[in-house]
């Protein structure tokens, strides 16, 4: 959602003539509204939600993002939102129809201590199994 990152993505999409990309200029969050983000130095990839300062950006719940984009099923979801993964995923799994639940989710867990809920544990309780784990990510696959 950082404006500079968004502009770079838009440029690269145009330069690559991508037709299957829908760019959402908003943060994924637990609300439909606004959130503040801040960046640590020049690393825009490490932008994170802030309570105390930064820039204000639009925010949407994951379910809102998918519905607004016309998505009817999700094969795989990669989520890396710098410690906000639980606030994106917990409301999604609570509110979304099961038909919209991803078959696989790769979730960055480096900032799991910032989570209010253990969303990986929550997902295993919803029928996902841990299929793999690296230093940074956990891959969960929905059991059939």
The span from the CA of 67 to the CA of 7, in Å, is 24
Residue 62 DSSP label: H
Confidence of residue 76 (pLDDT cuts 50, 70, 90): very high
Strand ranges, E, within the chain: 27-29, 33-40, 43-49, 55-61, 76-79, 104-108, 128-133, 137-142
Structural domain of residue 19, as residue ranges? 3-142
- Cβ count near 82 (within 10 Å): 16
Look-up: residue for tokens 């760019």? 23
Tell whether the model's pLDDT for residue 73 goes beyond 60: yes
Q: What is the pLDDT of residue 42?
A: 66
The structural domain count of the chain equals 1
CATH number for the domain spanning 83: value is 3.40.50
Q: For the CA atoms of the chain, what is the radius of gyration?
A: 15
Query: pTM for this structure?
Result: 0.82
């Amino acid at each position: 959602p950082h404006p500079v990152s968004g502009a770079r993505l838009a440029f690269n999409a145009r330069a690559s003539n991508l037709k299957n990309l829908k760019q959402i200029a908003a943060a994924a969050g637990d609300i439909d509204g606004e959130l503040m983000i801040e960046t640590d130095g020049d690393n825009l990839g490490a932008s994170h939600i802030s309570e105390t300062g930064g820039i204000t950006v639009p925010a949407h719940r994951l379910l809102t993002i998918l519905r607004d984009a016309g998505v009817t099923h999700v094969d795989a979801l990669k989520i890396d939102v710098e410690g906000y993964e639980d606030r994106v995923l917990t409301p999604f799994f609570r509110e979304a129809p099961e038909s919209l639940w991803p078959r696989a989710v790769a979730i960055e867990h480096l900032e799991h201590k910032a989570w209010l809920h253990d969303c990986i544990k929550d997902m295993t309780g919803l029928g996902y199994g841990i299929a793999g784990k690296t230093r940074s990510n956990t891959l969960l696959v929905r059991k059939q």
